[in-house]
Structure 1
Amino acid sequence: MKALVLFSGGVDSSTCLGIAVDKYGAENVLALSIYYGQKHDKEMKAAERTAAYYGVELRTLDLALIFADSDCTLLSGNGDIPQESYAEQLAKTDGKPVSTYVPFRNGLFLSSAASIALSNGCDVIYYGAHSDDAAGNAYPDCSDEFNKAMDRAVFLGSGQQLHIEAPFVNLTKADVVKKGLELNVPYELTWSCYEGGDKPCGVCGTCRDRIAAFEANGVTDPLML
């Protein structure tokens, strides 16, 4: 068995990488990091560090042109990233995803990953979607329903050779961190903040969720020490 891990360099995907390496061995794991026009390269650099730590091969893919017309605030040249929780942001969206939602990003990433996985003899794709991101329709492409549909499409489209594994899709980010701590995932090498400063901003939606997830496990986020 061989696995491809969709790998951003953040907490969730790094925990997926830890799970895949633990299950299949580093020599049977391929990591895929995708540039999509984000405002900084901190996560991409974190992906390089973490992949090197695990000794897995890291591939990179540039899909930025696909999102060139998006007004997503994560993307270079667009508006400011909200300094609010996702719940506060959703209160203003009238049921639509938050402004940091990259249009159908996981659908595109998983489709691209499927082609690369099949070309490299992989049997499974791992990615780190979890229930906190899907909650309230903040990131609809992180939901269990979406994951099941994509898994079915990839399985059928690959001639039943490949499937998708989202081990956290019904778990919280605190659950993700709990699993990662058990596996000694090097969270000090990761990056989640939507800003590209020397240290995490601590106030964007993903920073707030990350800090709370570590606190729920009785530890401090190593990037906040």
Structure 2
Amino acid sequence: MKKRAVCILSGGMDSTLASYMAKDEGYDIIAVHFNYGQRTEKRELKAFRDICEDLQIKEKYEIDIPFFTQIGASALTDKSIDVPVDGLESGVPITYVPFRNGIFLSIATAIAEKESANALFIGVVEEDSSGYPDCTDDFIKSITNTINVGTKESTVLEIKTPLVHLMKDEIVLKALELNVPLNLTWSCYKEEEEACGVCDSCRLRLNGFKKANSEDKIPYKVK
């Protein structure tokens, strides 16, 4: 029986690489994307669809989660809060969306159970991330146990995080090795036409390409 994996695919560089790694491991992919009121929602959705087309994914879900804009508390979902552009903050940054990955993984688990999948892939990065508590190895281990306790006995899911201990330049190099079309991905927190180049996500991405001695081919306002 063919292995099946649900891949949480935002359209960003990390989740895209994780999805291509799932394909490289021989999984049939079920792609899941979340529209949660983020500033770059339309651009991320375009990236998701472009990547699904490149991967020839037939089974995909586009899930709307409107309540994140209701609770606010994050610069990604509340436009009254400015996205930081002065470098990485200490502690948990204002771009953290409360328990986002926990909610994403819960919904993805329901889909995986319905689809009889064996694994969930998520492109969390602990080593070189922005300090989000739901991107850590400890969190993934804990929620893996929880979802397997809270699902049918016949459902046995592994959460696979192939990028969790990689640095951004290693992610770029791995993506190039697997011929991942990074030009289709989108990472900017602020803009949808040209990446701003100054938000935390753009800074991490650009620094990764620089350290990997490679050129990022998406358009930037500032590079």
TM-score (norm 1): 0.89
1:118 Cα offset (Å)? 0.8
1:52 Cα offset (Å)? 0.7
Kept after mapping to 2: 8 A contact 1:117/1:125? yes
1:38 has 2:38 as partner: yes
Aligned residues with identical type, % of pairs: 35
Q: Could you tell me which residue of structure 2 aligns to residue 150 of structure 1?
A: 143
Kept after mapping to 1: 8 A contact 2:72/2:78? no
Q: Could you tell me which residue of structure 1 aligns to residue 54 of structure 2?
A: 53
1:147 Cα offset (Å)? 1.1
Q: Could you tell me which residue of structure 2 aligns to residue 195 of structure 1?
A: 190
Q: Letter of the 1:81 partner, please give it.
A: V
Query: Which range is displaced more, 173-182 or 104-113?
Result: 173-182
1:127 has 2:128 as partner: no
- Distance in 1 (CA, whole Å) between partners of 2:61 and 2:70 is 22
Q: Which has the higher helix share?
A: 1
Q: What is the root-mean-square deviation in Å for CA atoms of aligned residues?
A: 1.6
Please identify runs of 4+ aligned residues in structure 1 that moved more than 6 A: none
Q: Could you tell me which residue of structure 2 aligns to residue 12 of structure 1?
A: 14
1:134 Cα offset (Å)? 4.8
Number of residue pairs matched by the alignment: 214
TM-score (norm 2): 0.90
Question: SS at the partner of 2:113?
Answer: helix
What does 1:99-118 correspond to in 2, within 5 Å? 99-118=94-113
In structure 1, stretches of 5+ residues that fail to align are none
Q: Letter of the 1:21 partner, please give it.
A: K
- Distance in 2 (CA, whole Å) between partners of 1:134 and 1:201 is 18
Question: SS at the partner of 2:71?
Answer: coil
Question: SS at the partner of 1:112?
Answer: helix
In structure 2, stretches of 5+ residues that fail to align are none
Q: Could you tell me which residue of structure 2 aligns to residue 172 of structure 1?
A: 167
